Structure 1
Amino acid sequence: MSLRVVIMGVAGCGKSSVGEGLSERLGVPYRDGDDLHTPEAVEKMRAGVPLTDADRWPWLDRVAGVLASGAPVIVGCSALKRVYRDRIRQGAGGPVRLVHLAGSREVIAARMAARTGHYMPTSLLDSQFAALEAPGPDEAVTVDIDQSLAAIVEAVLAKLDGGEP
C-alpha cells in the first residue's frame, strides 16, 4: 500500500490528534511534522517569531522525504500555502492525499489556549491564518473541526474512502 496522507491546517487545528486517530483506524504510521523542525525553527516559534519561507523549505523537504520513504504514512504538516503543498507533492515519490482541517479563529484559539506542552504560542495564530491559502476541492478534502475528534476522524475516513482528492 502506498497511501500518503498529509493532515494540514493552521496551528491548533488538531493535526496531531486527527493524524493519530487515523493512524489507529487505518493501521498506518503517523509522523508529526513538528518533530521534523530544526531546533532553531522551534526556538524561533517558541519566541513568537513566525517562520519565513526560507525557514520552511528544508522542513517541507523533510516532510516530503518521510512521505517518499515511509509509505504508507500519515504526516501532520501545516502546508499553509499552495507552493508548500506543491513542494511536498513533488518530493513525495507518489500521490499525496491532502486533508485540510478547517475551523474558525475562535475555535482554534480556544483549543490552543487549552493545550499544554506545545511550543507554538497563540500569538502566532494570526500569522498562520494570514499565510493560509485554503486548498480548493481539486487539491484537498476539507473537514470542519468544530465537532468531536471521533466525528472529525470519521468525516476524514468517509472523504478518503469516497475517492476525493
Structure 2
Amino acid sequence: MHAIDVTANPRKDEYLAENAGRFTAEAYTITLDGNHEWKFERDHVIEVLEHAINAASIGGVPGDEKKDGSFVQYPHEFRNSELLNLKLYKKEQGTLYEYPILLPFMGQRVPFGPPKNPRNPMQPYVFRVVYTINPGSGIAILQGLIGHKDKSKDKPKDPEKGSTPFALAKQFY
C-alpha cells in the first residue's frame, strides 16, 4: 500500500471549480470571543477540503481528544446539534463533515498546526471546515467554517448560559 500525503492538492482546480460561486469572499473571518478575529484565505480553505477527502481515504487522521479510549478521527460527521444556520446547506445535500484547518507554521502548512506550546500562538484543532461530499465527483463542497470555543485560548471568560461551543464564520450565516 502506498502512503498518501493528506496535505497534497493534485485536484485543486477541480475543488475550486466545484466550489465556484459559493462563499466567494477572499477571506473568511471568525471570532470566538468577540475581540480577536481570525482570518482564513478562501484558497487555503478550499485546499483543506481536499485534505479532508485525502484523510478520509486512509481512514482518517487522529485528533487531540479521546473518546471511548481512542483518539477521535478526522474527518468525522458534524451533527450540528447547535443548529447553526449554514446559509447554503440543504439537507438533501447529504451528511455534514468537519475537518480541522491546517495552520501556517515556519513557512509550511502542517496538519492541525504545530504541537501545543504555551509560547506558540497557533491553535491546533480549533478551526474547522464543514462540508458535504458531491456523490458524483467525490469532491467536498464547502458549507461553513467553524471555531471550537472550548479548545481556544480566545474563548469567552464568562460564556452565556446555553451558548453553543461553536462559532460560525460570518460569511456562512
TM-score (norm 1): 0.25
Larger radius of gyration: 2
The structure whose residues are more often strand, as a share, is 2
